[in-house]
Every structure is written in C-alpha cells, then in structure tokens.
Amino acid sequence: MDKIHLPPIMNNGWLILLLVIAFTTVRYVLLVGIAWLVCYYPGVKSVRKFKIQPVKPRQKQMKHELLFSFSTIFIFSVIGISVYLLYINGYTTIYTDIGQHGWGYFFGSLGIMVIIHDTYFYWTHRLLHTKWFFKKIHTVHHRSSNPTPLAAYSFHPLEALIQGLIVFPFISILPVHIIAFLLFTSLVLVTNVIGHLGYEFFPRKFRNSLPGKYLTSSTNHNLHHQKSNKNFGYYFTFWDKLMKTLQNGIPRPGLIK
C-alpha cells in the first residue's frame, strides 16, 4: 500500500495525539453530558418516571466512573493515533472515495462491523467474567451496580485496551470508508451510553416485540450490573439466547457495592 502524503503540520505526532484526544474527549463529554443533563442534573422532571432503579447513585460511585472514564479516553486516543500512523504509512484498508466501493458497501460495511463487534464483545465480556479477570480487571466496571451514563467508559485500563483492539481487524482486513469507521466508533459510544443510562425509554410493548427481543436495552444491561453472569450482549441478544445467558426482569433497586 502507498504511503499517504500529508501537509507537514499533519505529520506532527504530538499535534495529532492532542487532536485525537480532543476529539475522543469532546465526543464523550457531548454524548454523556447531554444524557446527564436530561436524566440527572438538573434533569427533566417528566423523565423521572423512566428511572430503572429509583434510588440515586452515590457520589463516590460517580467519581469512580468519571476517573476511569478519562483513563479510557486516553487509551482509546492512543489506539486512535495508532490507526492514524498505520493509515499515513499505507498499512490500512481505510479509503476516502465513496466511488471506490459504492454506497451499498458503505452501509454494508457498517453493518458488518456491528455484527462482528457484537460477537467480539460477547466473548471478551464472558472472558472478563471469569474468576481472575473479574476480580482483577472487570470489577472496576461492576462497582456501578446502579450505573449512570458516566459508566459508559468506566473500565480498567486493560479492559479498555481489550475492547479497543477490535478496530484493528476493521482497518487491516475489511475495506472501510473513513466516515463509516467514525460512524461505527460513535455508535459504539451511543449504545454504551444507552446501556448505562439508568433509564428505560423503550416501552415494554416494543421490548416484548419480535425485533425488541433481539435488541439489548438499558434494562437489559442494568440487570447485568446486578446479575453479573447474565446479559453479556452489546447490541443484540442473539448470543445470550444461544448460550442461555439471557436474563429478563426488573433490576432490584439500591444494590450499591
């Protein structure tokens, strides 16, 4: 593959690292911030009835979530700069011309990344729930038994690295348009924020419908934070159904570790 020629300023590694950190941070703050302002503080009164667990999360928990979220932002930024360096040196399958593969492939590649990521997440998530990994690594995330949007990135650094590594097959094997790649990484965060929102806005009728039964929800993941051996899926419940790890029901309020 040919090396990409960029203006000299774009070859400044430190500048690119700062830009990637800024992009990753702003995206996190924007999405999580909106969820926080609507659901928590100051909060919209009319949405309070959708709170899954009626008790308020503790200040200590939220500080913990925020601390590890910024750790994750840094690790994801390092992964981002790694992708950039591979790209400018011609070692990726990232392309910028839609006409190269067409719009059909553009959207199809986004769907492929989602399906592969869902599988990758399910099985790495199961790994993180084995005895050693849970005690040493994944327990950081599970301190939030009454999760808030801040928990979306609240990972041990090693877990953040494991989850971030999924991008490398996408940029080295699967031809992927740069915009499709950025849309995918943004969808990952949006889905994560919804899962940890602590509020359920999808009506029960939809969740019990045929499509709803195959999509994860905030309630689905809230249950996982209390019954940690169930509901490992990210976007879909397919693997949970297949491996008999699906748990339905209502989370019990006030379980704070």
pTM exceeds 0.95 for this model: no
Give tens-digit pLDDT for 133-167. Answer: 999 999 999 999 899 999 999 999 999 999 999 99
| CA–CA distances in Å: residue 239 to residues 126, 216, 218 | 11, 11, 17
What is the average pLDDT value for the chain, to the nearest integer?
Answer: 90
The burial of 257, by beta-carbon neighbours within 10 Å (0-12 exposed, 13-18 middle, 19 or more buried), is given as exposed
Please give the pLDDT value at position 179. Answer: 96
Please give the pLDDT value at position 195. Answer: 95
Please give the pLDDT value at position 255. Answer: 44
Please give the pLDDT value at position 250. Answer: 67
pLDDT score of 256 more than 50: no
pLDDT score of 252 more than 80: no
In the chain, what percentage of residues exceed pLDDT 70? Answer: 92
Q: What angle do CA 123, 126, 127 make, to 5 degrees?
A: 90
Query: Does residue 53 contact residue 253 with C-beta atoms inside 8 Å?
Result: yes
pLDDT score of 13 more than 50: yes
Give tens-digit pLDDT for 43-78. Answer: 899 999 999 988 888 889 999 999 999 999 999 999
**Domain spans in the chain, listed from the N-terminal domain onward:** 8-242
Exposed e or buried b per residue across 70-95, where buried means at least 16 C-beta atoms within 10 angstroms of its C-beta:
ebbbebbbbbbbebbebbbeeebebe
The burial of 32, by beta-carbon neighbours within 10 Å (0-12 exposed, 13-18 middle, 19 or more buried), is given as buried
Give tens-digit pLDDT for 166-221. Answer: 999 999 999 999 999 999 999 999 999 999 999 999 888 888 888 888 999 999 99
Q: What are phi and psi of 177, to 5 degrees?
A: -70, 145
| CA–CA distances in Å: residue 186 to residues 5, 24, 47, 225 | 27, 10, 25, 23
The burial of 13, by beta-carbon neighbours within 10 Å (0-12 exposed, 13-18 middle, 19 or more buried), is given as exposed
The burial of 112, by beta-carbon neighbours within 10 Å (0-12 exposed, 13-18 middle, 19 or more buried), is given as middle
Q: Averaged over 25-34, what is the pLDDT?
A: 95
Query: Does residue 83 contact residue 171 with C-beta atoms inside 8 Å?
Result: yes
Taking the alpha carbons at both ends of the chain, their separation in whole angstroms is 51
